[in-house]
Chains A and B, each alone.
Chain A
Amino acid sequence: QKEVEQDPGPLSVPEGAIVSLNCTYSNSAFQYFMWYRQYSRKGPELLMYTYSSGNKEDGRFTAQVDKSSKYISLFIRDSQPSDSATYLCAMKVGGGGNKLTFGTGTQLKVEL
């Protein structure tokens, strides 16, 4: 079993839809949770960073963490064609150390 599971998609939605992207994890030591957006053949761009359980909102993006269920989500409201990309979740254990563990990424396409 992988430490981080993420549905690879592809996920296709119409413009304006609410998108829900999810990751599950098995390592209860993960304390820091991030979402990255990666356009084709580009480096990932940090979108959201959370530490505690609960919701964090930034513009059209909301990150949700449920540590009891080992489940994190990224919601995108009013999705736009420019949101079409691969979204990667990433996690890190607490207490120091450098290693981020990534999900495989979910490919999202927002269609006109």
Chain B
Amino acid sequence: GAVVSQHPSRVICKSGTSVKIECRSLDFQATTMFWYRQFPKQSLMLMATSNEGSKATYEQGVEKDKFLINHASLTLSTLTVTSAHPEDSSFYICSARDPERGPEKLFFGSGTQLSVL
């Protein structure tokens, strides 16, 4: 399947700092990428849709000033958790569609475990 690379895989930070997570499509161009959040033993919750060259679309209840998304190129989207707090600790996963493999199929990165102390 299509390859989506996510970095870093794990980050531990102090409360109040900002953390940037990168998501890259390695073998295809992704005009749209998606950011999910997953708590232990819970489902993936869509946070926002990242659109290349335009503003991200956030799901209801997700603070856009807290979770900054930038999709500067067709292969890279970044999620920045600003002024992180312990309640932001979670597993963050990005995903993307490869139009040539079908618009309905999502390919996921390996995820980033964020721990805020």
Residue contact A43 to B4, C-beta cutoff 8 Å: yes
Contact A34 B108 (CB under 8 A): no
Residues 56-111 of B at the A interface (beta carbon under 8 Å): 91, 93, 95, 102, 104-111
Flag if A49 contacts B111 (CB, 8 Å).
Answer: no
Question: Which B residues touch A100, using CB under 8 A?
Answer: 46, 106
Q: Does B54 contact A (CB under 8 A)?
A: no
- If A98-B32, A98-B34 touch, whether A45 touches B108 (CB-CB below 8 Å) is yes
CB-CB < 8 A to B93: which residues of A?
43-44
Judge whether A41 is part of the interface by a CB distance below 8 angstroms.
yes
Number of contacts between A and B (CB, 8 Å)?
Answer: 52
Complex formed: what's the CA distance from A100 to B44 in Å? 9
Interface residues of B: mostly helix, strand, loop or mixed? strand
Residues in A neighbouring B105, C-beta threshold 8 A: 34, 46, 49
- Structural contact, A46 and B111, CB atoms closer than 8 A: no
Q: A92-B104, A98-B32 are in contact. Are A43 and B43 (CB under 8 A)?
A: no
For the complex, count residues of A whose C-beta is within 8 A of B. Answer: 23
Residue among A51, A90, A100 with max Cβ neighbours from chain B (10 Å) = A100
Please name all residues of chain B whose beta carbon is closer than 8 Å to the beta carbon of A51 when the two chains form the complex.
104
> Do residues A42 and B110 form an inter-chain contact, with CB atoms below 8 A?
yes
Mark contacts of A11-38 with chain B using CB atoms, 8 A cut-off: 1 yes-contact digit, 0 otherwise: 0000000000000000000001010100
CB A90 to nearest CB in B, in angstroms, measures 8
Distance to closest chain A CB from B4 (angstroms): 7
Q: Which 8 A-B pairs have the closest CB atoms?
A: A43-B108, A102-B43, A104-B43, A32-B104, A43-B111, A43-B110, A102-B44, A44-B108
Chain A residues near B (Cβ < 8 Å):
8, 32, 34, 36, 41-46, 49, 51, 88, 90, 92, 98-100, 102-105, 107
